[in-house]
Amino acid sequence: MKIDLHLHTSEHSGCASSGEREQIEAAISYGLDALTITDHDVLCDISHIALLNKEYAPFKIFPGIEVRTRKLNEDFVVLGIQDDELQARFWDYEDLHAFVREKNGYIIYCHPYRFKNTVPDAVFTHIPDAVEIHSTNIGACDYERILSLAQTLNIKTVANSDSHHKSTAGIYHNILENDVSTEAELVAELKKGTFTSGADDLRIRRYNAEIGERERYIKRLIEEGKDAAYYSEKTNQWHGFYDRVAMGKSYLL
Ligand SMILES: [Zn+2]
Ligand SMILES: [Zn+2]
């Protein structure tokens, strides 16, 4: 069973440019069996998810959330918990970790090293269930260090799209050994660790051509002394694209 555990929809993530139906239909067309909607700091409406599941069966849609932690400024996908507190609070990572443990959920460390070269100490004292090693928000240049982080923490790596547009839905995914149909089964399967990573190589090549072009342009701007604000204004694109290039990193997959 192929599942993308980290994906955004324009209904609830201002930064996303495809709606939930576009994302679901794209994932189906790319051969996925399931996805998890993880919008920024907002829980899914469970009855709405149930309707989507009816409509798109046998494809499965699971609810999730991506939580931005204060101070650390790192993002974590939380699965298997539908508690209003998740979206009502400003979370410190340690508290979020304890909450997820108490509620028997699953917590994934998203795109480590995105805008820095270190991992916060709290991640070593409060170990997440898994760390994301592939997504459209992780460049191949960080692969080795994420792998070694996962080994140090002795946790699984997961591969997700972190898609904000239908063109990347499911571009990376996880291949579960056993099919799951409920959120509880999904979490149990993830905790067992019986899955491997999958990638859509053809789409990755196409995506990289686009990123290469974007980053060449950003490098030119940097040479000309133009800043991230200039880049955003000029292109209407997220400053994070510029920031990574400015620190010598890349979004090439
Ligand atoms: Zn986003
Ligand atoms: Zn995300």
pLDDT tens digit string along 101-149?
A: 999 999 999 999 999 999 999 999 999 999 999 999 999 999 999 999 9
Which candidate, 163, 242, 148, 249, places its Cα nearest to that of 203? 163
What the block records as the tokens of 17 is: 């440019």
Position 253 confidence tier, pLDDT thresholds 50, 70, 90: very high
CA of 223 to the centre of ligand 2 (A): 30
CA of 63 to the centre of ligand 2 (A): 14
Q: How far apart are alpha carbons 52 and 34 in whole angstroms?
A: 12
CATH of the domain at 130: 3.20.20.140
Residue 252 lies in a domain: no
The single residue listed with the structure tokens 């292109």 is 235
Residue 239 lies in a domain: yes
Assess contact for 62 and 181: CB atoms under 8 A.
Answer: no
Assess contact for 7 and 39: CB atoms under 8 A.
Answer: no
Name the helix (H) or strand (E) containing 122.
helix 121-125
Same domain, 183 and 230: no
Tell me, what's the pLDDT at 129? Answer: 98
pTM of the model: 0.97
Residue 253 lies in a domain: no
Residue 251 lies in a domain: no
Same domain, 185 and 208: no
Name the helix (H) or strand (E) containing 223.
helix 201-223
Residues with CB under 5 A from ligand 2 (ion): 66, 162
Same domain, 218 and 164: no
Assess contact for 1 and 154: CB atoms under 8 A.
Answer: no
Give tens-digit pLDDT for 157-194: 999 999 999 999 999 999 999 999 999 999 999 999 99
Assess contact for 157 and 132: CB atoms under 8 A.
Answer: yes
What the block records as the tokens of 207 is: 């995506």
Same domain, 218 and 192: no
CA of 20 to the centre of ligand 1 (A): 14
Query: Residues of the chain with pLDDT > 90: what percent?
Result: 100
- Expressed as residue numbers, the domain containing 93 is 2-199
216-241: average pLDDT: 97
